[in-house]
Each structure stands twice: as structure tokens, then as C-alpha cells.
Amino acid sequence: MLHNSSPEEKETNLEKVKPKLIIFLLGPGNHYLNQRKDIADKLRNMNYKVMVMEDEPDWLEYSTIVDKFHDLLQRVDPQLIVALFTKKGSPVGVTFEIGYICGYYGRVETERKLRFLLEAQLNEKEILSSYIRKGLFTTICHSSYYDINEIVEFIDSFARNKIIELGWA
């Protein structure tokens, strides 16, 4: 890590290593999938490498969707995983994925990798399981957003912090 570099040099270094950081976006499907793909595109335009599970090879190549999810975690090993929770989208798949991530990486590594973004004014008790609300929320960074641009800003901030935490810049 460069300790005595100027802010401009630090920014240049951050920009250089952004393509090394792999961000995995989780969230509800249906019409929210298009929103997630838009977010991924905006982040890619900022030079991040971003994964959306539905963009990866077809499910037919795997026995189950769980096998596909496991293969992605194993093959790609993202440094940053962002779970989006929305007021209307079903949280069931995202909740399962978070549980799987906890089992796959263990709690300490999950806390290092995982971040939550919740749509503003979301009813947490209705949407989130108590494991997430009362368990993971006590140790994992989470924020609320109002629109897609805020989501991109939050993820950019999470990613920049992750790059610094990893000692890449």
C-alpha cells in the first residue's frame, strides 16, 4: 500500500486496479433483474468487473441452480458481494444465496465480502429474515438507497474501500 502518495496518485492507483476487483450483484429477479443488469452496466462503465448470475452460462449446464451458484463462487471468488433488497421483489432467493455464502465462506470471510443495500422505506420485518436483521446486520455494512444512481454510488464506494482494504492501492 502506498502511504505517502498524493490524493491524485491514490486516485490513479485506484483507477488502475478497479478491473481486478470482482463484484457479484445479488437481488430479486423478475423486473428487478433488468435493474440489476443496468447497475452492472454502469459499474462496468466505471471499469469494474461485475457478475450477475443470470448473465452467466445457462442453468442447463448444471444439475441445479445451487450447483451453478456454488460453481460461480468457486470459479470466480468475488472480492465484493452486494445483496440488493427491494420493497416489492421477493427476498427468498437472495436470502438463500446469503445463507449459502455464509456456509461457503464462513462468517468472518462473509463479513469481509458482503454488503447490503436496502430500498428506502423498506419494511425490514416483512422483507428480511431475522437471521439477516438480527444477525448479519450487526456486523455487515448496510445502507438504504432511493434510486439506481445511489445504488451505483454506494457500490462504487464499497468497491473503492475494498480495494484499499485489500492493499491494492
Taking each helix axis from N to C end, the angle separating 148-165 and 31-45, rounded to the nearest 10 degrees, works out to: 50
Say whether pLDDT at 33 is over 60: yes
Helices within 46-147 (DSSP H only): 65-76, 92-105, 107-113, 124-127, 130
Retrieve residue 49's grid coordinates: 468487473
Say whether pLDDT at 8 is over 70: yes
CA distance 112 to 122: 25
Say whether pLDDT at 1 is over 60: no
CA distance 169 to 166: 8
Task: Quote the mean pLDDT of the chain.
Answer: 90
Domain ranges of the chain: 19-165
Mean pLDDT across 58-63:
74
Q: What pLDDT shows up at residue 59?
A: 62
- CA dihedral of residues 81, 82, 83, 89 (deg, nearest 10): -130
Higher pLDDT, 83 or 138: 83
Q: What fold does the segment set 19-165 form as a domain?
A: Rossmann fold (3.40.50)
3-state SS assignment for residue 49: strand
